[in-house]
Amino acid sequence: MKVAIGCDHIVTDIKDHIKEYLEAKGFEVVDCGTHDFERTHYPIYGKRVGEKVATHEVDLGVVMCGTGVGITNAAQKIKGVRCALVGDVVSAIRAKEDLNCNVIGVGGRVSGVGMIEDIMDAFFAAEYHETEENNKLIEKIDSLIVEDHCINDEHFFDEFLEKWDRGEYHD
C-alpha cells in the first residue's frame, strides 16, 4: 500500500518516526514534508497529501500537526478527500469502516507516539463496510466540495507565504 504523509514544523520528528514505522510494516511512504523544524505554513502540507490521495498517486494519507486540527481541515478541502481527525483507535476504525476515509489526521503533540502507532495500525487494517446508508452519507459529504481549481497549483499559497515571510502571522 502506498501512503502519503505530511506535517507542519511542530511534529516533524513524530512524522519521521511514523514514516519509519509504516515503512517497517511494508508500506511505501511518500513524504510530502515538511522536513525540518523551521516554522512553516501547515496548510501547504495538508494540501499536498490531499492532492496525492485525490489524484490516486497514493492509496491513503496521513496528516499531522500539533493538535491535528489545522492540517486535517486543510487536507479535507481537496475534492476527493475524506479526512478524519482522530485521537483514538475506535475513531480511526469508524472513520474507515463507516465513512471510507482516505486520509487520517492526528495531533502529534496531543497523542503520544504509541497511540499514533495504534491509530495507524487500526486505520490501515480497517475495511470500508459498504452499505446503502454509508454510501448515501458519503455521497452527501462529497457533494459539499464544490470546486477543485487549486489541485496541483504550486502557487496557491504564494500570497500567504509572502505574508508569512513578512512576519504577519503569529503563533
Q: What is the mean pLDDT of residues 70-81?
A: 93
Using a 10 angstrom Cβ sphere, with 0-12 exposed, 13-18 middle and 19 or more buried, the burial of residue 38 is: exposed
CA Rg, the chain, in Å? 15
Using a 10 angstrom Cβ sphere, with 0-12 exposed, 13-18 middle and 19 or more buried, the burial of residue 141 is: middle
Q: Residue 137's closest CA among 88, 100, 105?
A: 100
**Which tens digit of pLDDT belongs to each residue from 97-116?**
999 999 999 999 999 999 99
The angle at the Cα of 159, spanning 158 to 162, to the nearest 5 degrees, equals 85
Mean pLDDT over each residue of the chain, to the nearest integer: 91
**Which tens digit of pLDDT belongs to each residue from 124-171?**
999 999 999 889 888 888 877 756 556 667 777 777 778 778 887 665
